[in-house]
Amino acid sequence: MSDPVSTPTPRNPERWKTAALMLTIATTVFASILAALQTDADIRSSTANRDSQYLAIAGSGELQRAGLVGNYEFALLGDLFKDMQVGTVYELTALEQQSRGEDRLAEGTLVLAAAATARAERGRVLSILYSDPRYAPAEADSFPDAQAYLDDLSAPAKDLVSRQNAAADLYQRWSVKSDAYVTVLTVLAVAFFLFGLAQTVQALQLQRFFVLSGLVILIGMLIWTAAILVS
C-alpha cells in the first residue's frame, strides 16, 4: 500500500485581521497614554504661563518701587551735599567778614551756616546711605557706598526678572511638547484608519499592506513620543 499523501495545512485567512485587531487595541492604549501626556503638558504650560505673567507684573512693580526709592535717596543725598557746601561757604564768608571787622554780619552768616549744617546732619539721619552701616562711609569726610546700595536695591527686581524668564522658558518648553503630542495623536489616527481597513477588506495582500503600514506609523509615533519625553 502506498503512503497516504499529506495535505498542506490551510492558511489562516483571519491572521491579518487578528493582527489588526490586536494592534488597534495597542494603539488605543498608546493613544490614551499620549492624551494623558498631552493634558499634563498643557496644564504645565498653562501654569508656567500664569507664573510668567505674575512675575512680569511683580517685576515691573518692583522696578518702579526701586526707581522711586532710589530717586528719593539720591535726591536726599544731593540736598545733603548742597547743605554741606552751603554751610562751608557761609563759614568761610563769616571768617572773611570777621577779618574785616564786620562782626554783626559774621554773626548772621554763622547762623545761616549753622542752619545749613543742621539740615545736613538731619539729612544724614534720614538717608539710608549714611544710617545703614552697609553703605555708610567709614570716615566722616568720605562718601557712602552708593554702588553697593544700588546693587542691593536692584537685586529683588533682578531676581523677579530672572524667575520670569525661567517661567517663560518653561512655558515655551511645555507648550511645544503639548503641540507635539497633539500632532502625534493626529498622525496616530491614520494608523487607526489603516487597522480598520485591514479588518474590512477580504484580500490578504491588502490586509497585510494595511496592517504593516499602520504598524510602521505606530512604531514611528512611539519613537517620536519618546523623543518628546526626553526633550
At 17-48, the pLDDT tens digits run 889 999 999 999 999 999 999 999 999 999 99
Distance CA 95, CA 102 (A): 10
Q: pLDDT (tens digit, 9 = 90+) per residue, 172-226? A: 999 999 999 999 999 999 999 999 999 888 888 899 999 999 999 999 999 999 9
Instruction: Assign residue 32 a region (left: φ > 0; alpha: ψ between -120 and 50; beta: otherwise).
Output: alpha
pTM of the model: 0.72
pLDDT band at 11 (very low <50, low <70, confident <90, very high): low
- CA–CA separation, 210 vs 157, rounded Å? 59
Q: Is pLDDT above 60 for 7?
A: no
pLDDT at 6 exceeding the cut of 70: no
**Domain extents in the chain:** 16-230
Side chain identity at 47, as an amino acid letter? T
Between 133 and 6, the more confident residue is 133
- CA–CA separation, 21 and 213 (whole Å): 14
